[in-house]
Structure formats: C-alpha cells, structure tokens
Structure 1
Amino acid sequence: MAFDWRDYPSQQLYDELVDEQGRPRPCGHTLANFLAGLSEQELATARSSAEYAIKEMGITFTVYGEGSSIDRAWPIDIIPRIICHSEWKGIEAGLKQRVEALNLFIDDLYHKQQIIKDGVFPADLLKKSVNFRPQCVGIKPPHGIWAHICGSDLVRDGQGTMFVLEDNLRVPSGVSYMLENRSVMKRVFPELFEQVSVLPVNDYPSQLFDMLCAMTPRPQDTPEVVVLTPGVYNSAYFEHCYLAQEMGCELVEGRDLMVDDNDIVYMKTVFGRRRVDVIYRRIDDLFLDPEAFNPESQLGVPGLMRAWRSGNVALVNAPGAGVADDKVVYAYVPDIIRYYLGEDAKIPNVETYRCYEPDAFNYVTENIDKLVVKPANESGGYGLLIGPRSTKKQQQECIERIKADPRNFIAQPTLSLSTVPTLDGNSIEGRHVDLRPFILSSGHQTHVTTGGLTRVALVKGSLVVNSSQGGGSKDTWIVEEEGR
C-alpha cells in the first residue's frame, strides 16, 4: 500500500475519516482503502486531472482586493468528505426545523412583532438592525415564506458534535460549486463511484426551479422565471449563469426589466415585452429598487417593490429576509425555535456571547485572546478576530471596535474544528472544514441538499475556510454505513 493510515498525522482532533488509531470510521472503509492503494504519482495525476477539468469547465470565483478583481480557478481538494446517511437524517431534520422557525420569525417582525411583545426577543436589537427593511412592513409574500433559500454553515467540534455556526438568508451562494465539485470528482475517480453508493446532489436545479414556480402569482399559467444578476463583475456571476442555464431561465440585469403603471414586471426582449412572474434575485436589498432603497443604484429595477407589494411578482429571497441573517440574531435562534415551534433545537448553536450584554461584554474584553470575535453582518471571513492567533495590538483594536458598537459584535469559543484528510503536496494531512448545505422552502415542501459545499482551510492549522481568504472546497458524500 502506498499510504498507511497509522502514519496519518494526528493533531489530537476529531478526524472525520479515520479514528485516533488510524482505523476508518463506519462509512469510510472503501474510501480509506482506495486512497491507501494509490501511489504518490497516481494522487498527483488525479489532482492534475481535477485542475484540468476545472479550467476546461470554466469554474471560477472572483477575489476583490486593492481596487481590482481577479478571476481564479475554483480550488478543489480531490479527497471527498464522507458523512453517514444515518447521521445526515438528523442534520436534515434540524435544518428544516431551523428554516421553518426563521421564516415564522421574519414574518412576525414585519407584522405583529409578537415575539418582542412577549419578551423573547429584545426590541432594541430590532431597532438597531441594519437589515430590517421598514419598506417591507405589512407585506405578505406567498405562503408566508421570506427565506426560500437558506445556506446554514455547520461545523463539527473536537468531540465530533455538529453545530450550526451561522445562517445565510440574504443571497446565499455556493451551491453551483457544490454541483460542479461532484462533476469534477466523477471525472477524476469514476471507479470510486462504482464502489461507493453516494446520494446525488444533481437534482438541486430542478428542485430550485419547482420552488420558484410555486411562488408565482399566476398559478394558472406557466410562470416566467428569471435570475436577476448585478452583472459580470459580481463575485458569484459564475453561479448566476450556471443556475440560469441549468434551470432553463433567462439571466437578466436590472436594465432588462421594467415595471409599468399597473405594477407589473416585464422583461424586454427582441420580440417585445414579456411578463415576469418570479425573480430569483442575486442583488442585495439596498440595490434592488432605486425608488424604495438607494436612489443611486443602477443595478435594480425602479418600481420593483411596488410590484412585489401588489402581489404581481414574487421575489426570492424576499427583501427584508436578512433581518434574521445577523450573527446577534443567530444567538437567539434556539429561543426562536422554542417560541414558534415549541421544540428544542435539533442542531445546537455554538456557545455565543452577545457583546451588548454587560456581563458578556466584560467577559469578552477580558478573555479576547481565547475567543473568536465576529461582526454581526460581515461575511467571507472579513472582520474576524481569532484571539489565540492574533497580536496584542489586534486584540486592543478589536476591543475598541466593540466598545464603539457592542450591538454589532458577538464572540464564541475557539472551536477545535474537525479535520478531513486533504492532499498537501505529495502527502495526506488533516485540514479543518465546515459545511454549507442548502435548504429550499416553498411553504408546502422543504428540501435539503444531500450534502453541501464543504469548505476546507488549505493552510495547515488555519481555521479560515473561505475561498476569498485562501480556502478551498471538497465534494461532500452522504453514504450508507458499510457492511449493512
């Protein structure tokens, strides 16, 4: 054998493929044996094949920095992540529970605000929310669904327990890379798919299209669904094109749409105007409609909010859904689940300190060198302070930012994230990972992808998995326990 798992570098952490003695976990025997039988040359060839496939398929992402943007090939590690189907069933149930409660919460905030009146959620938090949209108060989206598409980030700690790290409800991205990772892996290791029964993910575009169609205000007609993109310079433009193509929908920019005096949305075509029923929008709220939000926006469609309020078009995700996409609100999600559903959260939150609370503020500022501090509404790993890996100067600067706006920060313990075997040069080493499954909700049905986008910290010891910060990705395999 070319590789002996007993030599796999142990970091005293929970590894998802092999245990502390180098023995494969219940669902990983076939993969571990397959990898052990590959020579260094075969692994290098497989990696080169993956890199070639990514270039040939044009899979890219955009990194912004220093006033410019750079398109880069999508980084994928060729060793897949394995999760047992028996465990996944529990994760799936927990994600469905979570998105149901969050949709009830959002709808409540834009109507009766009963959760505030009952003292479960602080009124002051809502008052200072940067994602609450007064323009959405009183609007009733189809079936009461605001967050139709949710990408909740999951992590596993050093004992193997799965936690929800955060919820992404505004314009969650990454699903195209989940799908393309699977396509690449089938090219690289076709023989492995013959040996392992991996649950599919390629039905996501059809599930997405069905969900979008279910939102139409004209159910008696075949709905016209479009994907609204900010344009080619957006970091997720590859995904916008990919999903539009897979669903057979038009990809449009704001200038391609118009709203008439009857508050009906039309798409401009060479054959004249065509009515639009459902818009899968990939534009942030504030740029969506210059009449309602930022008057300087050139990306949105004037009058779009009027058309939505009138019930003449569906917007997915609904404007205003981001009120629950806030790391301070995240800290209340277990309470939100209990309030609306009368149940305990099936997937726990990571322990979280809300810096606006005096006791939490004192604890965080006194123990900042042991904690991860996050701003409430940043993404992509920006604004993050990882206490144990920061300097005294960085810690003091972070404390000053917290003092200036304590509502805008949370802190969490530095988790010993689980690892997954990852190819590093010619060797296999453990790297930290997270997971973003995608949940689709129409009000009638909720689907969870059988797997998700696994992001991996390619730098040894790093906890930052975002591609914009040097991270990569893995294909995620949901498989049955072997020997059953």
Structure 2
Amino acid sequence: MDWTRYRSSTWDELVASDGQPRPAARPLLDYLSGLSRHELTERQLAADVTARVMGITFTVYSEGRNVDRTLPFDLIPRVIERREWERTAAGLRQRMRALNLFIGDIYGDQKIINDNVFPRELLKESVNFRPQCVGVKPPLGVWAHICGSDLVRDADGTLYALEDNLRIPSGVSYMIENRMVAKRVFPELFETSAILPVDNYPTQLYDTLAALSPRPGDTPVIALLTPGIFNSAYFEHCYLAQSMGIELVEGGDLFVGDDDVCYMRTVYGPKRVDVIYRRVDDMFLDPEVFHPDSVLGVRGLIRSWRAGKVALANAPGAGVADDKVVFTYVPKMIRYYLGEEPILPNVPSYLCHDAKDRAYVLAHLDQLVVKPANESGGYGMLIGPRATKREREKFRRLIEADPRNYMAQPTLSLSTAPILGGKEPEPRHLDLRPFILSREDIFVTTGGLTRVAMQKGSLVVNSSQGGGAKDTWVVDLEEAA
C-alpha cells in the first residue's frame, strides 16, 4: 500500500509532517507498505468478522429502540513510544491522587473551600454532590477506584487532559478485545515488535476490588452490579465479570439484612457480598436514600456501605469531581494537595459562571466548543465553528439561563492517525482513554482505548455518534533495538 502521499493537516500519531514515519511507528509502516490494498482489505474483513464473532457490541438508544451494534474497528493501530507513555502515566497517577484527596476533603473538612482555592458556590450547585456521603471514610481513603481519563493531542504535539470520568467509566473491555483482534490479524508484528501488553487489566481490577473487602482475612466475595441487558455497556459488564471470575448481579439478586450486611440470593441460601463493583448510577443505587422508585439498586445498600459492611467501587459521591467545570480546577488541586506542578496540562478552559469568562464565551461562540457540566457521550455540546447560527443562539440562551452548567474550550486541531479509507490511507481525528485503578498504589493501563472519528473531518469520536476504535500500541524502542 502506498504511503508516500499520506499527509495530515495536523499532528499525526504515525507520520511526521515531512512524510517520514515517527520512530515508534516505523516498523509498523514498513510492514504495511509491503502489503497490497487487497491484502489489507482482507485483514480488515477478518478483523470485522472476529469482532462480530466475539460479540464486541454496544447499545445505541435511538427513537425509542435499543439497537446493538458492533463497535467499528480500524485495523491500523495507534503507536506511542514507551518513554512518552511513562511520563503520561505519571501525570495520570498524579491527577488521581489529587482527585481522591479532593473528593475526601469535599465530604470532610472542605479545607480547599475554606482556603478559597475552590469556590463554595460551585459545590452548592453541583448535581453530583451527595449529602448522604458526608463524613464517610472509605477504605484506603479512595473514592474513585476506577477512572477513565480522556486525553487529546493538539496540532503542536502537546498532550492534554480533556476530562476525567469518575462515575462509571466504560470502554476498557473494548481496549482488551481490540488487542485480541489485532493479534489475530497482525501475528507477525507481535512476534517482532516490543509491543507492551494490556491483558493484565482484569487481574489488576480484581486486586483493586479485593483490597477493599471489609473481611481482609478471607477470600472476598465480589459482585459486579449491572442495570441489566438493556444497558449500553452490558457487553463490558459481562466481559469483566467473566474475566475476573466474579458474580454478575442485578439489583434484585441482592438484599441488605437487619445486620446491615449485603447478601446475594443463591440456590443454597443467602451469601454475603464483600465488594460491589457497581455500574449503576448513584441516584438508582438505593431507593432508601435516592430515587424511591428505583428497581436497579438495592434497598439499604448505602446504609450497609456507611456501616463498613460492604465496599462500593466507585464510591457513591465520587461524581462530585466528575464535572467538566470541576475538571478545570484539577491543576489547582494538584498544587494544593500535593505541592507539585501538574505533569499533564489541562485543555485551556473558560468557566461560564465567571462573568469575565462568560462574556468572552458569548462573544466567541463561533470559535469555541461549549460543553454542559455533566453530559457524556458527546451529547449536549456545541462545536462552534461547525454550528449554525441558530444552534449558537440556542446555546447563548442556555448559557445565560444557567451559567454554572457550562464551560468552553478552544477548538483544538486534534491529532490524527490513518484509517483504511478509500484507495489510500486517510487521516482521522482521535482521542485516548487510559484507565487508572487507585488503591494503595495506582495502576495505569499501557495505553488505553483509542477512539477515532470514522467520518472525514469529524471531531466526535464517541461510539454512540458513529465513532470507532483502534488498538493502542505502546512500543519499547530500546527493547526492540
């Protein structure tokens, strides 16, 4: 396949602006250059078939219907050099230390507010602050045990933190499955290149959950609480439960006894549950304290958690830091709690609750990306340069009506990587979601889930809006040499 004419208008992950492969990507591109278009197409078809057979799907909620779709997978991986990744991983560990200290402080003494580092009014208007969690001290002082942080690279090659997903981050199963698919279609490259593995994540996740058990001397009973088969991430719930060898349960499978212990219903009678990896939103976890009509959670679960009889990951209330407005204060959190300078910079942001920032945003709606504080999946945001005048006016009214709920960022020229497009490879924008596990130490996946916009020119990488995925290779050049 001919790569001589491949060029991107921004930073490309595989090919430099002069058309030469980046050092970590050279073995891959040399190999791909030796394959014909027909051979690559055959391998892409093999990858697509493998993904369907493995059942790698997600659910799209559309027009009142739940539609299962195979996650689009592009054959050409993203490649990152190990030394760059080690610095990125250090930045992610730094962020998680600060974020967990922040959450604990918010539900404790609120020193960061009293010291005027974080505005009190932001907390008062936070939709993810849970008064029921005030005073709780979770095991190891960790609130967000599992985090998926979204990273993007700008046109100058700078890697930025875009947001931190601390409530119920998803996508790690696709990262692992993408690697399994890539190994099947590129076995030669995995034999000759020093590509670091990603398949230890389920073991790391199990160890993270087991460390939370209120009965440390015994083998813990761990369950993954799922909303059920109609949830968009149900494939992931099944995959992770099976990979870890833990129970997959729904709310009706559990109950809390008079002793405040959480039990699982089995054919042999009640069985105590020590740790719950919950994939159910806070407000549906326990009808005793949250939505009284919820059938997804377990009555009395928060009571059991507060009594220290069961551990919950992520802890209820961790979402107070999963807020795109709160995100902008992470550099200040790092300096305040850790006394360090941030390793990973935040994407520059404007806060609409601030009068000066709001005036700037309203005057530059045609140049900015505007996001609501708590939406996910790429929904509810405005990409100013590509929006119509009507859409920009709609967002003007939304911002003026509820400034706390909106923030804005420059429209970055996101980095690209090639996909198998037409007759030749074509650049597409992408981001990266590494996964971070917090316990006594902090584990960061080797790379993460690369999400790619399959449509030419699109900046939206979310699978629910037509995005796809790539395998992410962290390559050790020194070992390969």
Same fold (TM over 0.5): yes
The 5 Å alignment of 1:368-383 reads 368-383=365-380
Correspondence for 1:310: 307
Correspondence for 1:30: 27
Partner SS state of residue 369, structure 1: coil
Kept in 2: contact 1:59–1:73 (CA 8 A): yes
Are 2:470 and 1:471 equivalent residues in the alignment? no
Residue from 446, 450, 454 that aligns with 2:446: 450
Partner SS state of residue 472, structure 1: strand
How far off is 1:67 after superposition? 1.1
Distance in 2 separating the partners of 1:25 and 1:186: 22
Distance in 2 separating the partners of 1:6 and 1:176: 35
Kept in 1: contact 2:58–2:68 (CA 8 A): yes
How far off is 1:481 after superposition? 2.5
Amino acid at match of 1:456: V
Distance in 2 separating the partners of 1:425 and 1:300: 48
Amino acid at match of 1:268: R
The 5 Å alignment of 1:307-346 reads 307-346=304-343
Amino acid at match of 1:50: A
TM-score by length of 1: 0.98
Root-mean-square deviation over aligned CA pairs: 0.8
The 5 Å alignment of 1:190-209 reads 190-209=187-206
Amino acid at match of 1:212: L
Partner SS state of residue 454, structure 1: strand
How far off is 1:185 after superposition? 0.5
What number of residue pairs does the alignment pair up?
480
Q: For residues 304-361 of structure 1, what are the alpha-carbon distances to aligned partners after superposition, in whole Å with 9 as ceiling and x for unaligned?
A: 0000000000000000000000000001110011000001110000000000101111
Correspondence for 1:144: 141
Distance in 2 separating the partners of 1:479 and 1:466: 26
Are 2:262 and 1:265 equivalent residues in the alignment? yes
The 5 Å alignment of 1:257-296 reads 257-296=254-293
How far off is 1:194 after superposition? 1.3
Identity %: 63
Residue from 4, 9, 23 that aligns with 1:6: 4
Query: Structure 2 stretches of 5 or more lacking a match?
Result: none
Residue from 80, 94, 98 that aligns with 2:95: 98
How far off is 1:74 after superposition? 1.5
TM-score by length of 2: 0.99
Kept in 1: contact 2:8–2:416 (CA 8 A): no
Distance in 2 separating the partners of 1:24 and 1:481: 14
Amino acid at match of 1:38: L
Distance in 2 separating the partners of 1:401 and 1:12: 33
Correspondence for 2:54: 57
Distance in 2 separating the partners of 1:309 and 1:479: 44
Superposition misfits of 4+ residues, deviation over 2 angstroms: 481-484
Kept in 2: contact 1:50–1:184 (CA 8 A): yes
How far off is 1:135 after superposition? 0.5
Are 2:158 and 1:128 equivalent residues in the alignment? no
Residue from 218, 226, 230 that aligns with 1:229: 226
Partner SS state of residue 93, structure 1: helix
Amino acid at match of 1:445: D
Query: Structure 1 stretches of 5 or more lacking a match?
Result: none
How far off is 1:425 after superposition? 3.4
Distance in 1 separating the partners of 2:34 and 2:409: 41
The 5 Å alignment of 1:148-159 reads 148-159=145-156
Q: For residues 82-111 of structure 1, what are the alpha-carbon distances to aligned partners after superposition, in whole Å with 9 as ceiling and x for unaligned?
A: 000000010010000000000000000001
Distance in 2 separating the partners of 1:273 and 1:426: 60
Amino acid at match of 1:421: P
Correspondence for 2:245: 248
Amino acid at match of 1:257: L
Residue from 458, 477, 480 that aligns with 1:481: 477
Kept in 2: contact 1:148–1:440 (CA 8 A): yes
Amino acid at match of 1:42: E
Distance in 1 separating the partners of 2:414 and 2:477: 23
Kept in 2: contact 1:364–1:411 (CA 8 A): yes
Correspondence for 1:212: 209
Kept in 2: contact 1:44–1:426 (CA 8 A): no
Distance in 2 separating the partners of 1:196 and 1:333: 37
